[in-house]
Amino acid sequence: MRSEALKGHLDLLVLSVLHNAPAHGYAVIHRLADQSGGAFDLPEGTIYPALYRLERTGLLASDESVVDGRRRRVYRLTPAGEEALGERVGEWEQFARSVARTLAAGT
Amino acid sequence: MGAVRTQRRTHTGGGDVSDDPIDAYLATLDRSLRGRPNRGRVLAETEDHLRESAEHLERSGMPAAEAAREAVSRMGAAEPLGRAAGGRVAAGAVLVLGWVAAIGLLATAVAVHGPGQDGPTPGLPLLLVVGAMAAGVVSLLAAAAVWTWSSAIASSDATWRRAMAAFAAASAFGLVGLGVHVGKHQSGGTRALARSARCSASRWRRLSSWCQSAGSS
């Protein structure tokens, strides 16, 4: 899937893959690819603007540790992020149902 | 962190340029991050990502050099990452705008009441100089607030994060205080400015009439 198709949805997807377990950027991009069955195989750098944006808005927090001699930053959902994820999933499900109904009526 | 250190040496002109594609990528990213408070964090995070990606590719049987090139290729362009890091543009723009305003006000003060234009009305230039200083102070406070807030978000250390957030809050508080002070004295200042403007206009008329009489004689 082209990365343009994900515009507007990347934040929701990032929140979703971090819902169950914190992860660093490399793991986030690979979880996205794995959980989508390879559909969301994005250029790996595209994940960082989303991570920085979500952290700036308080939906994610991060901690740094040293792994194999390298500084690694691990992101996790904040309580506000958990709440936002719940709201956005609800909105997405409503949107998807509406699109499906519209498409079904037109075919 | 070896590569990041290598790139910093290269930046200052003292080191060699590595052939490693990951080092080259980090050097490009480093340039695009210049002046940003979270430069170290973004460089370290990107290096961790690229090295881990290259290690995974090597484990799957790819030669080391090719794995490094592939890791960089998968990462995409470095400049958007630098832009996404934020911080510099906002603080820099506030600072530049403030100092442009300050220089403009000072230049106006010099042009209106500069050397060789002595007169009994020091009100307007004084106000302009004070205005220039205020614009500079406001821009510095605003830039400090923006910069420290970016640093607070970017920092991994909780104590430093709190300290930076407190400084950002203090800067913002200073700005609000300055605004309240200016608001309180606005009416007096406006009257003084109007009085000074009238004096300057009067002087300009005298100067014009002197030029006309000098030209006709």
Contacts of A67 in chain B (CB under 8 A): 48
Residues of A (67-106) whose Cβ lies below 8 Å from B: 67, 69-73
Contact call for A26 and B80, based on CB within 8 A: no
Q: Do both B27 and B117 map to the same domain?
A: no
Partners of A60 in the β-ladder: A77
A14 versus B216: the higher-pLDDT residue is: A14
The torsion angles phi and psi of A24, rounded to 5 degrees, stand at -90, 170
Facing residue for A52 by CB, picked from B78, B85, B156: B85
Residue ranges making up the domain that contains A47 = 3-106
- Three-state secondary structure string covering B115-133: CCCCCCCCHHHHHHHHHHH
What single string gives the DSSP state of each residue in A58-105? TSEEEEEEEETTEEEEEEEE-HHHHHHHHHHHHHHHHHHHHHHHHHHH
Residue A26 has pLDDT above 90, yes or no: yes
Q: Do both B111 and B209 map to the same domain?
A: yes
Using the structure block, give the residue that is written with the tokens 């959902």: A77
Nearest CA in chain B to A57: B153
What average pLDDT does the segment A41-66 reach?
90
* pLDDT at res. B154: 53
pLDDT in tens, A59-106: 999 999 898 888 999 999 999 999 999 999 999 999 999 999 999 988
CA dist B53 and A64 (Å) reads 19
Q: Do both B63 and B11 map to the same domain?
A: yes
Nearest CA in chain B to A48: B81
Q: Do both B193 and B107 map to the same domain?
A: yes
Q: Do both B115 and B68 map to the same domain?
A: no
End-to-end CA distance of chain B: 80
Contacts of B151 in chain A (CB under 8 A): none
CA dist B125 and B138 (Å) reads 19
Q: Do both B36 and B110 map to the same domain?
A: no
Contacts of B53 in chain A (CB under 8 A): 26, 44
The phi-psi region of residue B180 (left if phi > 0; otherwise alpha if psi is between -120 and 50; otherwise beta) is alpha
Residue A7 has pLDDT above 90, yes or no: no
* pLDDT at res. B182: 62
* pLDDT at res. B156: 47
Q: Do both B149 and B200 map to the same domain?
A: yes
Kindly list the residues of chain B whose beta carbon comes within 8 Å of any beta carbon in chain A.
Answer: 1, 41-42, 44-49, 51-53, 74-78, 80-81, 84-86, 153, 156
Q: Do both B36 and B74 map to the same domain?
A: yes
CA dist B95 and B107 (Å) reads 18
Residue A48 has pLDDT above 80, yes or no: yes
Picking from B84, B111, B142, the residue at the C-terminal end of a domain is: B84
* pLDDT at res. B3: 42
Q: Do both B73 and B163 map to the same domain?
A: no
Contact call for B45 and A73, based on CB within 8 A: yes
Picking from B69, B84, B99, the residue at the C-terminal end of a domain is: B84
Length of chain B: 217
- Give the Å distances, CA to CA, from B53 to B66, B105, B200: 12, 54, 69
Q: In chain A, pLDDT over 70 holds for what percent of residues?
A: 93
Q: Do both B72 and B96 map to the same domain?
A: no
* pLDDT at res. B13: 37
Residue ranges making up the domain that contains B162 = 88-216
Under-70 pLDDT residues of chain B: 1-18, 86-94, 109-127, 147-165, 167-168, 171-172, 175, 178-201, 203-204, 207-208, 211, 214-217
ipTM over cut 0.90: no
Count of domains observed in chain B: 2
Helices within chain B (DSSP H only): 2-11, 21-32, 39-59, 64-75, 78-84, 88-113, 123-154, 158-184, 186-216
Q: Do both B197 and B94 map to the same domain?
A: yes
Contacts of A58 in chain B (CB under 8 A): none
Chains A–B, number of C-beta pairs less than 8 Å apart: 63
Q: Do both B151 and B44 map to the same domain?
A: no
CATH number of the structural domain spanning residue A81: 1.10.10.10
Q: Is A55 on the interface with B (CB under 8 A)?
A: yes
A13 contacts: CB under 8 Å, gap ≥ 6: A6, A32, A40
Cβ B101 vs Cβ B137: under 8 Å: no
* pLDDT at res. B63: 95
Overall pTM surpassing 0.90 (yes/no):
no
Picking from B31, B64, B84, the residue at the C-terminal end of a domain is: B84
Count of domains observed in chain A: 1
How far B48 CA sits from the closest chain A CA (Å)?
Answer: 6
